[in-house]
Amino acid sequence: MTSDRTAAMMVTKEPAGKSALVPTLTITPADALIDVPRQIRVEHVEPGQTVEITALTRRSGVLWQAQAAYTAGDDGVVDLTRDAPVSGDYK
């Protein structure tokens, strides 16, 4: 079976007057079978920023996609095991 996996992140709606940080996307484990849970975190963003995360995978020729937007916590982190999305969809 062949598969292509992609994860992307976009930080939007930067609060006015804030210094620009360099966001870091971490996915652990980076590569595993589809039924293995992953920890997905975005660090080094301003508290209150909106972060969009998109995941794509192709399975048996079919493209699966999920997208969700999150609001960074007071710690400047979005942790998908902790934070609920504010919007999103999947196809």
- pLDDT of the chain along its 91 residues, tens only? 444 555 555 555 555 555 567 899 999 998 888 889 999 999 999 999 999 999 888 889 999 899 999 999 999 999 999 999 999 986 5
Find, among 24, 26, 30, the residue nearest to 11 by Cα.
24
Write down the pLDDT at residue 91: 52
67: which DSSP letter? E
Looking at residue 16, its pLDDT comes to 56
Burial class (CB within 10 angstroms; exposed 0-12, middle 13-18, buried 19+) of 53:
buried
pTM of model > 0.85: no
- Residue 1: the pLDDT is 42
User: 10 Å Cβ neighbour count for 68?
Assistant: 19
